[in-house]
Chain A
Amino acid sequence: MQLILSDRHIDLSGIEPSIPFIDLSKRNIANCVGCFGCWTKTPGKCVIRDDAVAVYPRIAESDRVMYVSRIKYGSYDTTMKTMLERAIPVQQAFIRLLHGETHHVQRRVAPKQAVVIAYGDLSAESKKIFRQLVARNANNMNFASYRVVFVPECDVEATVRKEAMAWAKS
């Protein structure tokens, strides 16, 4: 399973076979309210029944993901960050040791090859922090491997298309 999760529209026409694409900017996704319902009331399900509940199962089952996000001060901007926060039903409340650190146990989450396409605040400091963030995401989002690609905003679509075409050929 493959998935492209983006905070903006990307024209992927002509790429065959097609790759599932979710434009988060067109989805209705509320902030996580930190209620722990997905861990302790309805395990594996978020209690907020908006568009996020159709997205995090797709993230979980995909073994190849591409995240496309604006970044600022070394963070995903709010559109992508909102979805990533809402994806915690894919984890359990329980804690395990991973690489000697404490992390949440994952539910049925496929190990992933991840590509993160980042645009926006591309200062050296922002890029450094963002790289550290994705490295930490790798532990908490089950990335078996990952690449971070920084691109100017004008090159986002071309870069995503190039990556998607490489997926389609492989």
Chain B
Amino acid sequence: MGKIMILNGSPRAPKSNSKQYAEMFSKACAAETEYFAVTKTNHQAICHAMDGFSDVLLVFPLYADGIPVTLMRFLDTLAQNAPSRKPRVSVLINCGFLEPEQNNIAVAMLRLHCKENGYPFGSVLQIGSGEAILSTPFRILVRAKVKKLAAAIVAGQSQTWKVTMPISKGMFLKASTRYWVHYGKRNGITKEQMATMQIEQ
């Protein structure tokens, strides 16, 4: 059984949902895992560490319909500092939208990046409503899919799963509004203030 590097590519890694997904994966995985978070200054160190791993799981949020720049910059460094034995790359991506399919393009980008740079591509879990789902009872649905992802990576399989809140879009709009209103309230900001149409004024 190989060893899996879990690499958090979220720009807010220490406080990110991606970190929670990474922890969930680590608990569900039968193989040994080690967690890393991409920062501005540790690209080279992660590239060097990658030599000791059979697999890499990239965990990150969808940003502007694609891969966050934090992770893109790391991939640039990795392209110039490839490990001697290239690990299989798998993906755990989440977006705040209800539809996990909104992650498709970011996954396609990573598949192509891996193809162009000679990394075998493994399995994928795409999470919708990923900003909030962990604080709902639907967390168990995510945990079940994360377990499947972990098993597939350990088995060296290439599979794709998707998971989101099993609610209607109308319910999701209401639930997400409540979520964000509560988020703003913690900062002393009202719903009306959050809904301003002004930009930089």
- Shortest C-beta distance, A132 to chain B (Å), equals 5
* B177 neighbours in A (Cβ, 8 Å): 94-95
* A105 neighbours in B (Cβ, 8 Å): 195
> Which of A6-14, A18-26, A78-86, A161-169 faces chain B?
A78-86
Q: Complex: how many Å from CA A8 to CA B63?
A: 23
Is B98's CB within 8 Å of the partner chain A? yes
Q: Report the count of interface residues on A (CB-CB < 8 A).
A: 54
- Shortest C-beta distance, B19 to chain A (Å), equals 12
Which of A75, A82, A136 has the most chain B CB atoms closer than 10 A to its own CB? Answer: A75
Q: Which residue of A lies closest to B172 (CB)?
A: A102
* A108 neighbours in B (Cβ, 8 Å): 197-199
Residues 1-41 of chain B: 1 if any A CB is under 8 Å from the residue's CB, otherwise 0?
A: 00000000011100010000000000000000000000000
Q: Which residue of B lies closest to A126 (CB)?
A: B112
Contact: B200 with A57, CB < 8 Å?
Answer: yes
- Shortest C-beta distance, A160 to chain B (Å), equals 22
Is B189's CB within 8 Å of the partner chain A? yes
* B108 neighbours in A (Cβ, 8 Å): 74, 129, 132
* B201 neighbours in A (Cβ, 8 Å): 44
- Shortest C-beta distance, B161 to chain A (Å), equals 20
Which of B65, B104, B180, B183 interacts with A140 by CB under 8 Å? B65
Is B173's CB within 8 Å of the partner chain A? yes
Contact: A36 with B69, CB < 8 Å?
Answer: no
Which of A40, A84, A126, A137 interacts with B189 by CB under 8 Å? A40
Which of A36, A41, A136 interacts with B105 by CB under 8 Å? A136
Is B102's CB within 8 Å of the partner chain A? yes
Q: Complex: how many Å from CA A45 to CA B196?
A: 11
Contact: A39 with B180, CB < 8 Å?
Answer: yes
Which of B116, B177, B193, B199 has the most chain A CB atoms closer than 10 A to its own CB? Answer: B199
Contact: B11 with A32, CB < 8 Å?
Answer: yes
Contact: A107 with B172, CB < 8 Å?
Answer: no
- Shortest C-beta distance, B63 to chain A (Å), equals 5
Contact: A34 with B12, CB < 8 Å?
Answer: yes
Question: Which residues of B from 146 to 196 have beta carbons under 8 Å from A?
Answer: 169, 172-173, 176-177, 180, 183-184, 186-187, 189, 193-196
Q: Complex: how many Å from CA A56 to CA B133?
A: 30
A81-B64, A81-B66 are known contacts; what are 19 more A-B pairs with Cβ within 8 Å?
A40-B184, A40-B194, A45-B199, A78-B69, A78-B73, A82-B69, A84-B64, A85-B69, A89-B200, A95-B173, A100-B169, A101-B102, A102-B97, A102-B98, A102-B99, A102-B172, A107-B197, A109-B199, A132-B105
A-B contact pairs, 20 of them (CB 8 A): A31-B68, A31-B70, A34-B61, A36-B183, A39-B194, A43-B189, A53-B200, A75-B67, A78-B69, A85-B68, A87-B64, A90-B199, A95-B96, A95-B172, A95-B173, A101-B102, A102-B169, A133-B66, A133-B105, A140-B65
User: Which residues of A pack against B, CB within 8 Å?
Assistant: 31-36, 39-41, 43-45, 53, 56-57, 60, 72-78, 81-82, 84-85, 87-90, 92-97, 100-103, 105, 107-109, 121, 125-126, 129, 132-133, 136-137, 140
User: Which residues of B pack against A, CB within 8 Å?
Assistant: 10-12, 16, 61, 63-70, 72-73, 76, 96-99, 102, 104-105, 108-110, 112-113, 115-116, 169, 172-173, 176-177, 180, 183-184, 186-187, 189, 193-201
